[in-house]
Amino acid sequence: EAQVTQNPRYLITVTGKKLTVTCSQNMNHEYMSWYRQDPGLGLRQIYYSMNVEVTDKGDVPEGYKVSRKEKRNFPLILESPSPNQTSLYFCASSRFGHEQFFGPGTRLTVL
Amino acid sequence: AQSVTQLGSHVSVSEGALVLLRCNYSSSVPPYLFWYVQYPNQGLQLLLKYTTGATLVKGINGFEAEFKKSETSFHLTKPSAHMSDAAEYFCAVSDKTQNFGNEKLTFGTGTRLTIIP
């Protein structure tokens, strides 16, 4: 089944404790992206990647890092999480010029 | 810069009634437009999209939307609401000025649709 998977689905952590949210797609898509969803703000792009080793900032990249060492994986790294990063995170992937497929989301709470 | 405005953060309709969710966009170039649906505790699922060609677009689950360039609108409709349509709906726009660039979607703030039995 074609899909985008994210892990973990739910995470509660404390300020400053490094964490990684994984994202994997099995559709051989070149393009991958991370969004965060906050009430009243919709979804905003954090980072994106156009292929292996090619990443760039989206609209709200502060406090986040990404890497793209393999085509299928695009992890989101929070080196020192803060409470304002409490949010619902979505990973998405697509072939260029085609619809984006979204993962099920990761709900992160930073205390 | 692109932007999307969804009028009405909450919409309630009776089962069997017309569903109308409003979306207006701003874009400096011809846009690609999308409607996504999000069911509770799930990711976003594409309902329909407009890229080029026919301005009336049909999607899944009986939804359709019409691209009106003069009104910069892309409203979502369904003739008869079902209980299963209760969800949050997001309108999004994509700037497709280049073939291999950032495929970022700019989303509206969402409309939560409630169906009244």
A58 at B interface, C-beta within 8 A: yes
For residue B2, what pLDDT is reported? Answer: 83
- Sequence-ordered list of residues with C-beta below 8 angstroms from that of B11, at least 6 positions apart, any chain: B19, B20, B21, B111, B112, B113, B114
DSSP state of A86: -
Residues B57-95: tens digit of each pLDDT: 999 999 999 999 999 999 999 999 999 999 999 999 986
Q: How far away is chain A from the Cα of B51, in angstroms, using its nearest Cα? A: 10
In the structure, what pLDDT confidence band is assigned to residue A105 with cuts at 50, 70 and 90?
Answer: very high
A10 at B interface, C-beta within 8 A: no
Residues A30-41: tens digit of each pLDDT: 999 999 999 889
Q: Is the pLDDT of residue A96 over 90?
A: no
- Sequence-ordered list of residues with C-beta below 8 angstroms from that of B79, at least 6 positions apart, any chain: B18, B62
Q: Is the pLDDT of residue A1 over 90?
A: no
Alpha-carbon gap, residue B101 to A49, rounded angstroms: 10
| Amino acid identity for residue A42 in this structure | G
The SS3 assignment for A52 reads coil
B chain contacts of residue A94, beta-carbon cutoff 8 Å:
103
B chain contacts of residue A31, beta-carbon cutoff 8 Å:
103
B44 closest CB neighbour out of A44, A56, A102: A102
**Residues B89, B82 contacting (CB under 8 angstroms):** no
Per-residue DSSP letters for B7-23?
E-SEEEEETTSPEEEEE
The CA-based dihedral angle spanning residues A46, B113, B5, B51, taken in that order and rounded to the nearest 10 degrees: 80
Whether B109 and A41 lie within 8 Å, measured CB to CB:
yes
**Residues B6, B91 contacting (CB under 8 angstroms):** yes
Q: How far away is chain B from the Cα of A15, in angstroms, using its nearest Cα? A: 25
For residue B96, what pLDDT is reported? Answer: 63
Q: Is the pLDDT of residue B10 over 60?
A: yes
Alpha-carbon gap, residue B12 to B4, rounded angstroms: 21
A103 closest CB neighbour out of B43, B90, B96: B43
B104 closest CB neighbour out of A33, A40, A99: A33
> Widest CA span of chain B, in angstroms?
46
User: Which of A9, A27, A32, A43 to probe the B interface (max B CBs under 10 A)?
Assistant: A43
How many other C-beta atoms are found inside a 10 Å radius of the C-beta of residue B83? 9
B107 closest CB neighbour out of A42, A56, A104: A42
Place of tokens 């890497």: A67
Alpha-carbon gap, residue B111 to B59, rounded angstroms: 18
- Sequence-ordered list of residues with C-beta below 8 angstroms from that of A61, at least 6 positions apart, any chain: A46, A47
Whether B9 and A40 lie within 8 Å, measured CB to CB:
yes
| Amino acid identity for residue A77 in this structure | I
